[in-house]
Structures are given as structure tokens and as C-alpha cells.
Amino acid sequence: MSTRKHLFKFLLITFIALICNLSIWYFMDSERALEFLGGYIIELSLSVDNLFLFLLIFSSFGISPNHQKRVLSYGIFGAIILRFIFVILGIAVINTFKWILYLFGILLIISGIKIMINKEDDVSFENSKLIKLLKKIVPVTKELHGEKFFVRIDKVLHATPLFALLFLIEGSDLLFAIDSIPAIFAITTNPFIIYSSNILAILGLRNLYFILEKLHSTFEYVKYGVGVILIFTGIKLAISFKYHISVGISIIIIVSILLISVISSIIISKIKQ
């Protein structure tokens, strides 16, 4: 599929998200609509850094685009389930222990700093802890077997490298959810708003990935913007009991950070050429 078609599908899903946003404004109220918009923007902007990680993983294993599509499709399905569990557990924990928001804030600030100073080029995904864990559970073949995740060799069930990749991506998405869900708590604690904005952002990720695959060198500095967004949401959570930053102002700050990082990436990319 061409980059243009992936862009069209991504814009279509974004349009659907905006329709949902207007529906929330009409059937609920403007405050909830702003919260949905804020949650959607946060999830989408933080997802960019995770997609860059996926690019590194696929290129590290030399996986073809056709196989990438299969892994991403299952990965997004798994992410939808993970988000549901995280939202339900997160809301339950917050309702029981209000002070946990302070901890979430600190964790987000630390995560933001890590993203800004992390050098992903030095990571060896073949020797990652998740892959080692999988190999302890089930043997993994060295070669791909078409698009199969599992094969039987000498009557013994083996995972293929394609499943190992899916396991690695789901594991990284689990860690990503630990950042993204608390970040949305800085906007709202309404479970419907959190989950719906998350899911609509996630549904566009498969097409966004293949757009970034073609343009990743142009947007390589966006991760710094993502790091700053995490730091901002962390600070907002940490001070939320004493100082309230409105949802509208939060959205303006987050969008501004994202736009500055995108524009800076484009300018720096053109200077390098």
C-alpha cells in the first residue's frame, strides 16, 4: 500500500475521532469534549515515540513490510485489551489512593527525561530481556515460517521469530501504557473519555507507522517534544492538588510543544541535506 493510501486511512480515522468528539460535546458537555480531545492528542503524540521504537525493532530483525503489517495488526488488538485493563485498574487505584497521582507525576517526569537522553541506536533487541523470557517459555525457531506465529517441529511446539517480534512489541507497548495512561489522568479520570480517546488514537497507529517509516528521518527530533509533553503532564499531576491547570490550557501547551518539535525536525532535516 502506498504512503498516500496510508495517509488517507489515517486522516479518515482522525475524522471519525473528531466526529466522536463533537458527539461527546453534543450529548455530554463541552468540558468532556475538551477532555476527549486532550486525551486523544496526548495518546497520539506519545505514540509517535513508540512507533519509532517499532521501526528500530523491525529494521533490527530485517522483517519485510508484509510481515510487519501482520504483527502490527495483532499488536494493536493486544493494545486495545491492555488499555482497557490499565484504565479500569488505574481508575480503581486513584479512587482508593488519591496520593498515587503524585507518584504518577514523578514517574512521568522521569520517563520524559529518559526519552530525551535515551540513545536507542545502542539497543540490541535480539538479546533483550523479553526475548530471553520468551525463549525460557517456548523454543523459538531461527527462520521465519511464512506468516505463522507457531509451528510444530518433531512434535514440539515452537514460536517463530514473527511471534517473538509480536511478544517484544506487546511488551514495549505495556511499558508505553504505563506512561500514556497516567499522562491522560492529568486531563481527566473519566474512564469512558480515557478509553474512547485511547482506542481511537490507537486505531490510526498502523497507518501512521507506515507513514513514519517513509518519513522517520524528517521527524527524528519529535521524541524530544514527546519527552517535554511527558514532563509537562507529570508536573501537572504532581501539583494538581494545589494548582489546577485547565484542560483547554493543557491542550494548547501540548499541541504547541508537538508543533514546535515537528517544525524543528523539518528545519533541521533540511539543513542536514
Per-residue pLDDT for 230 more than 80? Answer: yes
- Cell numbers found for residue 57: 525493532
pLDDT bucket at 217, cuts 50 / 70 / 90: low
Q: Is the pTM of this model over 0.85?
A: no
CA pair distance 272, 188, nearest whole angstrom: 41
DSSP letters along the chain, please?
Answer: --HHHHHHHHHHHHHHHHHHHHHHHHHT-HHHHHHHHHHHHHHHHHHHHHHHHHHHHHHHHT--HHHHHHHHHHHHHHHHHHHHHHHHHHHHHHHH-TTHHHHHHHHHHHHHHHHHH--GGG--GGG-HHHHHHHHHS-B-SS--TT-SEEEETTEEEE-HHHHHHHHHHHHHHHHHHHHHHHHHTT---HHHHHHHHHHHHHTHHHHHHHHHHHTTTTTTHHHHHHHHHHHHHHHHHTTTT----HHHHHHHHHHHHHHHHHHHHHHHHHH-
Q: In percent, how much of the chain has pLDDT > 70? A: 94
Per-residue pLDDT for 124 more than 60? Answer: no
Please tell me the predicted confidence (pLDDT) of residue 120.
52
Average pLDDT over residues 28-32: 92
Per-residue pLDDT for 203 more than 60? Answer: yes
Per-residue pLDDT for 241 more than 70? Answer: yes
How far is C-alpha 154 from the geometric centre of its chain's CA atoms?
A: 39
Average pLDDT over residues 27-53: 86
Per-residue pLDDT for 64 more than 60? Answer: yes
Please tell me the predicted confidence (pLDDT) of residue 126.
64
pLDDT bucket at 206, cuts 50 / 70 / 90: confident
91, exposed or middle or buried, with CB in 10 Å at 0-12, 13-18, 19+? Answer: middle
Give per-residue pLDDT as tens, 136-154. Answer: 889 888 888 888 889 998 8
